[in-house]
């Protein structure tokens, strides 16, 4: 079945029902069969609640309502979330108001740090992961043989991080954020974060490959740890992050403070940009 994308206009009064409309427009039940257990992968970017940062409670409500209305067995629906170096899944479930939604629908919450994990070796060729992790990756053992319905999330970077835009130009994250916080109204949050809205085309990871994407929200978070880590690869690429910033390794996600010389981390090896080469005119030697 080819991939499908559905768009619709919503409003607060209909947002829960509109998740059902979206799911049915793409005929989700033709992919997620009712006779298989279904992992509902929630997403927690921060333990505290921030708008548009983690899975919203009304999103969780809309998805679960649709699944149950469409005949999925609540005993085969398994909402899960893992920890990261900056999140606690149990506290996040409570703070993001998932708990009352899950309880009302009669489904459990399964924090993944408490389940058994196993090494999974890829069964078919993939675009990049076979080469990055030839020995396989660790996954929760409960994932094997089940379908996964994945809800979205967002992440953050250091101010000096260079962002590759879709036109091939590079811009520092701090400069990009300052530009949009001057152009558009910025909102100050209780914890010191500042956020504004806009739209910039960037290079993004999608389906295991790098494609064009849209950045629509610009966040600035105050640094709470005076120490920062610079990670430099053998080829000279480097990035400066906080001690807790996660990096993808063969053993899973690890904070920068635990990365040591010789460790392997995942990076993009080749980035394609749409365009054509431009031959510069010859100039006399100086």
Residue 106 φ/ψ region, left for φ over 0, alpha for ψ in the -120 to 50 degree band, beta for the rest: left
Read off the pLDDT band of 77 (50, 70, 90): very high
Read off the pLDDT band of 172 (50, 70, 90): confident
> How, if at all, do strands 137-140 and 194-206 pair?
unpaired
| pLDDT value at residue 164 | 74
The residue assigned the tokens 């607060």 is: 12
| pLDDT value at residue 240 | 82
Alpha helices in 146-230 (DSSP H): 173-183
Which one, of 234, 215, 129, lies nearest residue 173 by Cα? Answer: 215
Contact criterion met (CB below 8 Å) for 50 and 193: yes
Query: 207 or 139, which is more confident?
Result: 139
**Separation between Cα atoms, residue 204 and residue 96, nearest integer Å:** 26
pLDDT single digits (tens) 86-121: 789 999 999 999 999 999 999 999 999 999 999 998
pLDDT at 153 over 70: no
Report the chain's mean pLDDT, rounded to a whole number.
82
pLDDT at 286 over 50: no
Query: 12 or 97, which is more confident?
Result: 97
Q: Within 13 Å, how many C-alpha atoms sit on residue 69's CB side?
A: 13
Read off the pLDDT band of 156 (50, 70, 90): low
| Max Cα–Cα distance, the chain, nearest Å | 77
Alpha helices in the chain (DSSP H): 15-25, 57-69, 89-95, 98-105, 129-132, 173-183
Q: What is the CA radius of gyration of the chain?
A: 21
Q: Average of pLDDT values for 133-145?
A: 91
> How, if at all, do strands 186-188 and 194-206 pair?
antiparallel
Read off the pLDDT band of 73 (50, 70, 90): very high
| pLDDT value at residue 76 | 97
Least confident of 64-73, 114-123, 195-204, 274-283: 274-283
Q: Within 13 Å, how many C-alpha atoms sit on residue 112's CB side?
A: 22
pLDDT single digits (tens) 216-275: 666 666 666 567 788 888 888 888 887 777 888 888 778 888 889 999 888 776 666 566
pLDDT at 16 over 80: yes
The whole-model pTM stands at 0.57
Q: Where do the domains of the chain lie, and which CATH numbers do they carry?
A: 15-150 (3.40.50), 164-221 (no CATH), 223-272 (no CATH)
Residues in CB range of 94: below 8 A, 6 or more apart = none
| pLDDT value at residue 243 | 77
């Amino acid at each position: 079945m080819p991939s499908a994308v559905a768009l619709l206009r919503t409003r607060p009064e209909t947002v829960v029902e509109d998740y059902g409309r979206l799911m049915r427009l793409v005929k989700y039940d033709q992919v997620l069969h009712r006779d298989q257990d279904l992992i509902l992968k929630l997403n927690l970017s921060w333990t505290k609640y921030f708008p548009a940062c983690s899975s919203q409670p009304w999103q969780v409500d809309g998805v679960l309502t649709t699944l149950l209305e469409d005949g999925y067995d609540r005993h085969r629906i398994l909402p899960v979330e893992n920890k990261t170096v900056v999140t606690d899944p149990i506290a996040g479930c409570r703070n993001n108001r998932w708990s009352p939604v899950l309880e009302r629908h009669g489904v459990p919450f399964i924090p993944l740090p408490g389940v058994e994990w196993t090494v999974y070796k890829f069964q078919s060729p993939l675009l990049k992961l076979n080469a990055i992790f030839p020995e396989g990756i660790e996954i929760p053992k409960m994932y094997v043989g089940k379908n996964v319905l994945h809800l979205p999330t967002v992440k953050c970077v250091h101010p000096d991080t260079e962002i590759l835009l879709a036109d091939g130009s590079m811009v520092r994250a701090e400069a990009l954020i300052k530009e949009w916080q001057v152009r558009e109204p910025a909102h100050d949050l209780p914890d010191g974060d500042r956020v504004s809205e806009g739209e910039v085309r960037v290079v993004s990871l999608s389906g295991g490959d790098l494609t064009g994407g849209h950045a629509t929200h610009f966040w600035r978070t105050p640094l709470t740890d005076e120490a920062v880590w610079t990670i430099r690869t053998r080829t000279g690429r480097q990035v400066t992050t906080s001690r807790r910033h996660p990096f993808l390794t063969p053993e899973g996600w690890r904070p920068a403070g635990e990365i040591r010389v010789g460790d392997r981390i995942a990076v993009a090896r080749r980035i394609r940009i749409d365009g054509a080469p431009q031959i510069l005119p010859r100039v006399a030697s100086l």
